[in-house]
Amino acid sequence: MKISRVFKVNGKPFFPLGGQVKNSSGYNPEELETAWKALEYIRANTVEIPVFWEQVEPIEGQFDFSVVDKLIEEARKRNLRLILLWFATWKNGHMKYTPEWVKRNPARFKRVITHDGEAIPTLSSHCKANWEADRKAFCSFIKHLYEKDKDNQTVIAVQIENEPGIVGSDRDYGPEGDRDFKSSVPSVLIELISEKEGSPVHSIWKQCGSKKEGSWPEVFGRWAGELMTAWSIARYIDGLAVAGKEIYPEIPMYVNAWLDGGEWNMAGLNYPSGSPVTSTLDIWKWAAPHIDLIAPDIYRGDHKAYLNACQLYSREDNPLFVPESGASESNALNMFYALADYNAIGYHIFGIEQIVDDDGSLRPEAEKIAGSFQAVSAALPLLIEYQGTGRIHAVVQEEFKSMQILDLGRYVGLVKFYQVVPHSQKLGAISWLDYRHNPAKLVNERGRGLVIQAGEHEFYVLGAGFQLFLHKKDAPYNMLTATQASPFLQRELIDYVRVEEGCFDEEGKWVTIRRRNGDETDFNGIWVQPDVGVVHVVLNDAI
Ligand code: DGJ
């Protein structure tokens, strides 16, 4: 499968791995200090920071992008790339980052009106003045980026708005919203829906009588409010992308989504109505062709819900990018599924400052997520090279799992999730038979990582909390019996040509940091820890 590498630097694919700062950190560059530190802990190459409409256009028509300049300067100093988030008409289904002159003028900048006539603090996508004001500000911002950064490409992408949609209503019941609700559903949209069997919106359309024409409620029944709002917001944002790309065509623009599936799963109550979710994602893809991708903010800890989100947003026409996720242990594990099985082209944690304690150290609760990020950061060129080829395998120690079997072509890979014997219970160095670097520092943790098959006899392994053993499938039967009978022989008889720890340099070339042999391979198999980078293993094919 060909992966669409939306993010590029100097024409080459780039994998953004990093964090997003908390919502208000970007107001003051000094407040970003904690974030810079946190980004070092996870070995990030990219940081996502919001740019607030209220800050850059405090008075209508007067722009000040000095804060953007400062962000670019600070990122460059640290050799980080930036993804800037345009917090404007929508921020989590509200209008909280619009300038005061917008907030204070509801007669000109129309808000969403609920079914009982209340105006809520969400701008209406049906109001032309809203779009026009956002467009002007967005274009000034993009023009500024173009002039300031086109040659350096410190800013690698722009997120348009943040989790757009309406919180508090399924649609705008005001005059403009009502006019659009009662108008005919565009025939091209009905045509596309009718042809896309298997799509959630196709099922809705069928349940409502498969009508070939009609108003939104006639065609989509009780789903009409949400679907019409999705169409309207997607067109609004696509219009911003068109205007922005006329100025800076090379810069990718994406939209992030607050996922559905929470509590009662009601649009406008449990997630913003009109956002790109299960029932509306296809509408968004059709209505917003100038948006490079739609990205899920995945905070779901449970394995199944996490995978469902990856599945939904990774499609031929939409590579998976995770702009926000939690700093939880579940994410430290699940992220490997996103990288291996769903070919995620970038991955970020939200509220990155939270992983740093008051004294500047990494908080103990964040060690797992930081470890996973550190391990991945050493292997980014491998992701770019092997995603989509079926050669990247996720290793994840789900609950109750003690081992995992991998089918690695000529080899069987046996992954063992080990238990570390507490240092205090060990009798002495000689009896430990554990020759991993710093065994005293090892902790029990859920195994996780990646096994990447680079060639028939060549592998890269990374992660934490597991050991990999390899066995040739066509080995003589008696040898197989011997290795099964004796775990020691199982490790001892593997015919390695080379086992080495290392990373990749700026050009993507492999750099060996340390060779392993003897005890370091005999006693513990191919073991991984975040701080050893990637382990490169070449086996002998001569016999
Ligand atoms: C998702 C939003 O996109 C972020 O800006 C932030 O509000 C987080 N939720 C908080 O969990």
**Radius of gyration of the chain measured on its C-alpha atoms:** 26
324 lines ligand 1 (CB under 6 A): yes
Expressed in angstroms and rounded, the spacing between residue 92 Cα and the centre of ligand 1 is: 7
Q: Are 329 and 367 in contact (CB under 8 A)?
A: no
350 lines ligand 1 (CB under 6 A): yes
Expressed in angstroms and rounded, the spacing between residue 469 Cα and the centre of ligand 1 is: 41
163 lines ligand 1 (CB under 6 A): yes
Q: Specify the length of the chain in residues.
A: 543
**pLDDT at position 430:** 45
pLDDT in tens, 97-123: 999 999 999 999 999 999 999 999 999
149 lines ligand 1 (CB under 6 A): no
162 lines ligand 1 (CB under 6 A): yes
pLDDT in tens, 475-490: 766 565 555 556 666 6
Alpha helices in 80-186 (DSSP H): 100-103, 128-149, 175-182
25 lines ligand 1 (CB under 6 A): no
Please give the angle made by the CA atoms of 250, 335 and 332, to the nearest 5 degrees. Answer: 130
92 lines ligand 1 (CB under 6 A): yes
**CB-based burial, 201-232: b 16+ in 10 Å, e otherwise:** bbebbeebeeeeeebbbebbeebbbbbbbbbb
**pLDDT at position 489:** 63
297 lines ligand 1 (CB under 6 A): yes
pLDDT in tens, 499-532: 999 999 988 999 999 999 988 888 778 999 999 9
Expressed in angstroms and rounded, the spacing between residue 127 Cα and the centre of ligand 1 is: 26
**pLDDT at position 431:** 44
Domain topology for 395-539? Chondroitinase Ac; Chain A, domain 3 (2.60.220)
Expressed in angstroms and rounded, the spacing between residue 194 Cα and the centre of ligand 1 is: 35
180 lines ligand 1 (CB under 6 A): no
For the chain, what are the domain ranges? 8-386, 395-539
- The residue to mutate among 348, 350, 352, 354, having the most atoms of ligand 1 within 8 angstroms of its beta carbon, is 350
pLDDT in tens, 116-146: 999 999 999 999 999 999 999 999 999 999 9
pLDDT in tens, 55-79: 999 999 999 999 999 999 999 999 9
**pLDDT at position 276:** 98
On whether the pTM is more than 0.85, the answer is: yes
Low-confidence ranges of the chain (pLDDT < 70): 419-433, 440, 476-493, 543
Expressed in angstroms and rounded, the spacing between residue 298 Cα and the centre of ligand 1 is: 10
Q: Which of the listed CATH numbers 2.60.120.560, 3.40.50.300, 3.20.20.80, 3.20.10.10 matches domain 8-386?
A: 3.20.20.80
Q: What distance in Å separates the CA atoms of residue 301 and residue 251, rounded to the nearest whole number? A: 32
